[in-house]
Structure formats: structure tokens, C-alpha cells
Chains A and B, each alone.
Chain A
Amino acid sequence: MNPNLETFKYDNRIVRAFAIATVIWGLVGFSAGLLIACQLFWPELNLNLQFTTFGRLRPLHTNAVIFAFVGNGMFMGIYYSLQRLCKARMFSDTLSWVNFWGWQAIIVSAAVTLPLGLTSSKEYAELEWPIDIAIAVIWVVFAINLFGTIFKRREKHLYVAVWFYIATAITVAMLHIVNSLAVPAGWFKSYSLYAGVQDALVQWWYAHNAVAFFLTTSYLGLMYYFLPKAAERPVFSYRLSIIHFWALIFIYIWAGPHHLLYTALPDWAQSLGMAFSIMLIAPSWGGMLNGLLTLRGAWNKVREEPMLKFMVVALTAYGMATLEGPLLSIKSVNALSHYTDWTIAHVHTGALGWNGFLTFSVLYWLFPRLYNTKLYSVKLANWHFWLGLLGMMFYVIPMYWSGITQGLMWKQFTSEGFMQYPNFLETVLQLIPMYKLRAIGGTFYILGACLMAYNLYKTAKAGVFVPEVEVQAPALKTEVAAHDGNDPWHHRWIESKPLVMTGFALIAVLIGGLVEFIPMWIIKENVPTIAAVKPYTPLEVLGRDIYIREGCVGCHSQMIRPFRSETERYGEYSKAGEFVFDHPFLWGSKRTGPDLHRIGGKYPDAWHYNHMDEPQLTSPGSIMPRYPWLLTQKLETNSLPARIGALRKIGVPYPGGFEATAQTNLQAQAAKIVENLKQGAITNAPPDREIIALIAYLQRLGTDIKATNAPPVKTAAN
């Protein structure tokens, strides 16, 4: 008997808690998605409530799926596999439970605040600053628990899954903190530290890498652990996994600007984003192939084991999404695809296929082991598989169709050179059948997930929960016995040194971000200034905050690309210098409705008033919900000084003492709008309602450069 043998216990309680949470939040997140999907062909489904509009629920859906469903799934897999790969119990049970309950509290606070309209509007980072701080704290708790477990491990070498967990922990912390930097203007309102182009670059660096390091690297770690477990054979190539890991984390971080192609972002940053996105195909496919080839000689198991079926589809979806992503990053393809439902199809290949199916796969494998029994029904699991797969097909195929249709219709000119579809609504109405089909797909997917929940519940009832598993393993020797263990030219050396591994991973993910950020921050030429662009008036500031609260950015972009099809439809293309006071930027990523950057002055004030009250009055067939509460709710102006003060702190040049005159300024502008409304036969509009502020903001949009006859662009150089 080995005298160094130590006896210890793996903690299954925390794994079970996260497993149950991922099932519950998954159903919530999917259902929220189905609800908003239905609202796109049935706008009244918000039941005329301001808390349930598409604009407010879309971030609830995305946050629920990313941070609640995948987040809990990730913790479930990490807490199970890390203990076993390190041959050690988690560093601290207390930290494990702080991680669990803290994360659930964050999810609940998101579920409350987002429908209330408390949002920063930055995609997948919508939560306001107190919740952002809570996320940072809980993430640090998770990281301490992760590294603590790694440091007390009994297995010298860190398996590839653990490298991915380390990369996830450090990079998500970095992304979250940098992107969430903001100045508060009250308990539930803040303004991004960055403005316009810089805010866009930071945001999409964050959002793209949230996909990379929250949804991808963590799940690749799970794949590297659970796939060999289920297949009962080691991963195809350990060497390939080394290249996969380093190349993936190094390249991914550069690719964020591909979300901003043809925008006002400097061209060099766009080109870097595109080039590195194309390079990403190599490591991504390396990882997919490493997973699929692990099953060589074991494909018969795929027929019998539901877990492997889900895993194979997850890997295939990963491969498809990571091929499509780089192709969508090619500027000429992106010219067609950007702002369309094509992007929605793309992300759902990843979310439903990769994250969804991989989570289901791990759950089917884990529950029988946690309860020391067999899966209740393989037949039900197979039903889930086919319903899920069919649901996915019904989701993504109509969305591809819809996206390409949208893109082509927006760009279509007649032989005489006029726009074929000058009314944006024509292009929307074409898509309604696709939206209905998509909802059918979502329904199938949810039905499948319900079957899984029932199956797992019955499995748990049939077995006896194993809260702890007692095992033995030799203690880790302090001296290095391995013949090549001290040679820094061996990857094995890096693997046995968690701090070195963390340091290298941090350097790898820092480089790409810094290369893109530093020139943006220090070289003025990147954001040419425009003398005519002035800060928003107090009424416009409040109007802009209502625009943010209602989530208008979820359907309307504010970024006209320099294409004839866009300048014909919307007006002059958007310039970087027009956004220097936009904290946060509101360029958007999707045009379910038209771009609004040049909406200012396009219609009379009364048109906006009527449109917000009943969109179908001004735009027959519109799928925008009604916003009648804007006409009745009183504009909250008490926080105006705090808002102006916060904006001044981050560089908006309001003169000192502006707060004192802000109210008068606001009332004067509101009175003017009320006068304008009277000309449009709206004689009963009080000046202190929210609609007045929103109209002020909308009428300001994109008008600054129209105010001057001088050449609009003045660069720092001239």
C-alpha cells in the first residue's frame, strides 16, 4: 500500500445545486425567448404592459440564457470535473455556496431590474452598476475557489480542461470589469465611462469575448472532460489540445471589431478584427475535430448513449458556428448580413446547439451518477434529442431565410436606380411567416427541455443521492521527480505550474485587447472631431435615458453605414465624431425596425407622439408595440442634476453650475415641443410627460452635422 495515500471526499451537493439551477433557469430563459419571438408577429403579447415589451424582455432572455442557464451549467461541470481532475475536494465549501447563492441572487436581481427598464443598454452587460459589482465579487469568489482547489491538488499535471477553466476565470473578470466601468447617477442609473466609438470598441471586445470565454472556453473544458468520460477513452490528441488552447485564447480576443464592420470604427481596427476572425477557424476546428475524433471506434456508443448523441450535435454545432462566424466577419459578407436576422440564426446555432446540447449532454450523464442509479428513460431522452434537433432546424433555417431576405431587400434598387423597397415596413412584413416558423422551432426546443426536466426528476426520485464520494489518492510530491518536469521548454512544465499557466494565459488575452485599445485612446485621429456636435440638452438627456430604459436599441440601430442603399434610405452616413458625447453608444446590432440615426427632423413632433401611442396608426402593419405609458407618465426630473454631474465627470463639457439652469432650459424646450404638437392637432399634451423628452431626443438625433454649412469633418490633424 502506498504510504502517501490520502483519503478525501468529493462534494456532490454543490454540483447538484448548480445542475438543478441550470435546468430551471434554462426553462425560464427559453420561455422568455419564445415570448419575445412571438411578440415579433403578435405585438400585443406584451399585454400592453411596459414591463413585458420586446425591448425590455430581450435582455432578460439573453442574460437568462447566457448567465443563468449556461452560467449555472458551467459551474455544474467545473465543480464536478475540477475536483476529480485535481483529485481534491473544492478549496472551500463555504466559497462554493457563496458562489451558488450569490449567482442565483444576481440572476433574480436581473430578472427584476431588466423588466423595470433598469439597464445600461450595453448588450449582454445590461445590468446596472450595483449588480455589476456583485458579479465581480462573486466571480472573484469563484476564482479563489478554483485556484485554491488547483493549489491543493493531488495530481501534478493540469489537464487541458483545467487550462480552459483558468482562461475563463481570468478573462471573464477582465472583460467584465473593463466594460462595466461607469459613473453612477443614482442607485440604478449610470453612464459608461467611454463614449461613442471607444464605447463601441470596448463593448464589442467584451461581448464577443463573453461568447468566447463564457460560452466557449468554459464549455470546451467541459467537453474535454465529459466526452472522454462518456466515450470511455482518452481525448484524440493531447498535442492538438495544446495548440487548440493557446491559439484559441490568443486569437479570440482580437476579433471583437468584426461586430463593427463598415461602422465609424477606424478601418485599421475593422481589418484587424476581420483578419483574426478568419484565423479563428483553425483553432476552433482543431478543437471540434479533437472532440469528434475522440469517438473513433466508439460510434456504436453514440447510438445507445443519449449523452453522446447530444455531445456529437453540440460539437457539430460548434464547428458550424465557428466556420460561419469567420465567414460573417469578411467585410463583403458582413455588408449583407449585419443588422439582419442572419446574426440571430448564427448565435442560436451556438446557443441552442453548442451550449444547449452540451448542457443537456452533461446533465444526462451526471444525474444517474449523482443519484447512483440509471437514467429513468432513455426513450424520453431520445425524444428530447429529436425534438431539440428539430426545434433547432425550425429556428435557424427560417432565420437564415429571413436574414438574407432582409439584407437583399434593403439593398435592392430598381433598374432606374431607385430603391425597390423604400418603405422599411415592406421588408418587415415579408419576414412575418419566418418569425412564426421560428416560434414553432422554439416551442419544440422547450418541449424537449421539459421532457428532460421530467426525466431527470424521475431519475432523482428513483435513486439515492450521493452527497459525497470518498476516494483515495497519493499526496502530491513536493519535489519534482519527472525527468523533464523542470525544463521550461516542455509544455509539461507549464502544466505543472498553475501560476505560470495563468500568467501566460493572461498575457495571451491581454495582447489583443491592448493592441486595439491603446491607439484608440491615445491617437486623436481615430475619432475626428466635428465642431457642430454639441452635448445633449437636459430634456434630450432624459429622453435618451427613456430610449435606453425602453430597450429601443434592441430593434433600432443608430449607425448608417457608407453604402448607397443606406444613405438613400436614411441619409448621410454616420461619422465617428458625431458620437463623442454618447455615453453609452447606441449603435445597436439588429434592425427589426429602421435605423434612427438621422430620424431627427424627418417627421413632425406630432408624428412621433402618435407613433409611440399607436405605431399602427402612422405605420400600418408595424410590429412595434404600443407605448401609451409614455404619454401619461410624468417625467422624472429630480435626478437631472445627478445625471448632468455624472456626464460632466466623464468628459461631457457642461459648464459649471449648469445644473442650476437645467430645469429652466428643460421647461423651455418642452414648451416648444408642446407648441409643435398643437400644430399637429395634439392640443392636450402636458409638457411634463415622458413622451416630450423622448421626442426631444429623437428630433435631435443626427441633426448636429446638418446645422452647419461648413465641411462637417474636422480632424485633429487639420
Chain B
Amino acid sequence: MIKNVLSDIGGIGLYGVISICLFFAVFTGALFLSLRMKQSVADHINSLPLEDGEPVQKGVSHE
């Protein structure tokens, strides 16, 4: 498949290789960053939607 893609790019050489390498770089980069994240940090950020701020008056809060 990659061979077919590349053989059809007449005259612009390494374009396809560079594109696919970029994709793998982005994918592995995101994987690398996410795996380095500490669980406690992930848990904190994950809980953000559940914390809207402390309501000042009870009864008018949505939560």
C-alpha cells in the first residue's frame, strides 16, 4: 500500500514518506506525553468538569 502511494507521486520524491513519518511522530509523541503523565495529575484534570466552583448561595446553584 505505501509502495503504491509512493510510486504514484511523480516528481515530488519524498513527500509521501515525510507525511507518513510526520503522522507517526505526532501519534507516538502524543502517546509518549500521555504515558508520562502522573495518575494523580490525570485524576485532578479529569475531575474538572465535576467542579464548577463553590456556590455562594445554595439554591441557585445548578449542581
- The interface residues of chain B, by DSSP majority, are classed as helix
| A621 at the B interface (CB under 8 A) | no
Chain B residue numbers with a CB within 8 Å of A489 are 33, 36
Contact B50 A490 (CB under 8 A): no
Chain B residue numbers with a CB within 8 Å of A525 are 10-11
| A23 at the B interface (CB under 8 A) | no
Q: How long is the Cα–Cα vector from A515 to B22 in the complex, in angstroms?
A: 11
The listed residue (B23, B31, B35) touching A279 by CB distance below 8 A is B23
B42-63 vs A, CB cutoff 8 Å, 1 = contact: the mask equals: 1111111110111111011110
Task: Give how many A-B residue pairs fall within 8 Å (CB-CB).
Answer: 147
Give the bracket for the number of chain A residues in contact with chain B.
35 or more
Least CB separation from A524: chain B residue: B11
Chain B residue numbers with a CB within 8 Å of A128 are none
Contact A229 B61 (CB under 8 A): no
Q: How far is the CB of B25 from chain A (nearest CB, A)?
A: 10
| A225 at the B interface (CB under 8 A) | yes
- The interface residues of chain A, by DSSP majority, are classed as helix
Chain A residue numbers with a CB within 8 Å of B54 are 5, 471-473
Contact A471 B53 (CB under 8 A): yes
Least CB separation from A243: chain B residue: B30
Contact B53 A472 (CB under 8 A): yes
Contact B4 A271 (CB under 8 A): yes
Q: How far is the CB of A529 from chain B (nearest CB, A)?
A: 16
Contact B5 A491 (CB under 8 A): no
Q: How long is the Cα–Cα vector from A495 to B29 in the complex, in angstroms?
A: 15
Q: How long is the Cα–Cα vector from A472 to B16 in the complex, in angstroms?
A: 52
Interface hits, A232-275 → B, CB 8 Å: 232-235, 238-240, 242-243, 245-247, 250-251, 254, 267-268, 271-272, 275
Q: How long is the Cα–Cα vector from A97 to B24 in the complex, in angstroms?
A: 42
Least CB separation from B10: chain A residue: A525
Contact A238 B56 (CB under 8 A): no
Q: How far is the CB of A539 from chain B (nearest CB, A)?
A: 39
Contact A234 B47 (CB under 8 A): yes
Q: How long is the Cα–Cα vector from A239 to B37 in the complex, in angstroms?
A: 8
Contact A484 B46 (CB under 8 A): no
Contact B19 A515 (CB under 8 A): yes
| A87 at the B interface (CB under 8 A) | yes
Query: Assuming A242-B33, A515-B15, is B60 touching A466 (CB within 8 A)?
Result: yes
| A408 at the B interface (CB under 8 A) | no
Contact B46 A247 (CB under 8 A): no
Chain A residue numbers with a CB within 8 Å of B30 are 242-243, 245-247, 491
Q: How long is the Cα–Cα vector from A566 to B52 in the complex, in angstroms?
A: 59
Q: How long is the Cα–Cα vector from A275 to B20 in the complex, in angstroms?
A: 9
What are 13 residue pairs bridging A and B, where the CB atoms are less than 8 Å apart in the complex? A159-B48, A224-B49, A228-B49, A229-B50, A238-B37, A238-B42, A239-B37, A242-B34, A275-B5, A372-B62, A466-B60, A494-B33, A511-B22
Residue positions of A touching B, CB distance < 8 A: 5, 7, 10, 81, 84-85, 87, 154-155, 157, 159-161, 224-225, 228-229, 232-235, 238-240, 242-243, 245-247, 250-251, 254, 267-268, 271-272, 275-276, 279, 369-370, 372, 466, 469-473, 484, 489-492, 494-495, 508, 511-512, 515, 519, 523, 525
